[in-house]
Amino acid sequence: MISFIGPFLWEVLRPLPLPLVINRRTRELYYEQDGKLYHTPWDGITAAAYEFATVGLYYGRMRHAALEVLMHRYDHPQERVIVPLGLPIGKRLSMQQGFWEYLRAFMDNGPWFDARGRHSELPEFNLSLVINKRRTSLSLDWMLLKEEYKANNGKNFLSATRFLLLLSGPLMFPIEIIQYFTYDVAKCRSHRQWPELVRERLRPDGPTTRLIDLEREQGPNV
């Protein structure tokens, strides 16, 4: 038990890398690396999407696609970094282009929008894009099993793959509960780790001035 609790507490309590944050209120992106704050305004953002491939001895040739944005360090605009918007592994260029259009719809027409990216007052379409919705593998497999049962009128609906997934579901359940708990702890802690400049802009009643506007107000010495 101690051999489990020790590493678990270490993973939960140790400093975690902060996620890239997209702020729709101020229309800008934030990123932190090695204690340095980077940002870029959404309007006029520089982004690139491209495909590449890797070749391995055991998996052969695998295609990937990256989506990256250019950001600069706060108060040091000459220091720039290229930040990926998610992992590129196993993705296609069309997937990254679709994700970029999703971000554009969110920033320009959001927070809720319809299937064509137009503004909507209801969140139904956005919620339909959430596949997991905090379900465990066991509950998700059970839901899919019931759908297959109805689709086949109760005949020959239980495949060998689905049966094995149902058997493994109870074994994976504790792991997924720990995963959700760790995610919640990391999410709560990340709010406190951002600089005050970012935290106040993430509040609903916070300032709407962008960080680049603050840099311009400080003059040419930035």
Structure tokens at 76: 């040091």
Using alpha carbons, list the distances in angstroms from residue 204 to 120, 130, 199, 209, 211.
20, 24, 10, 13, 17
Residue 71's closest CA among 91, 106, 41?
A: 41
Measured distance CA(39)–CA(72) in Å, rounded: 6
pLDDT digits 0-9 by tens, 118-136? 888 877 777 776 655 555 5
Q: Helices in the chain by DSSP H: which ranges?
A: 2-13, 93-109, 124-128, 137-151, 160-193, 196-202, 211-217
Which range (35-39, 153-157, 178-182) has the least confidence?
153-157
pLDDT digits 0-9 by tens, 137-157? 666 666 777 777 777 776 666
Measured distance CA(155)–CA(161) in Å, rounded: 16
Measured distance CA(77)–CA(82) in Å, rounded: 13
pLDDT digits 0-9 by tens, 71-105? 999 999 999 999 999 889 889 999 999 999 989 98
Measured distance CA(145)–CA(149) in Å, rounded: 6
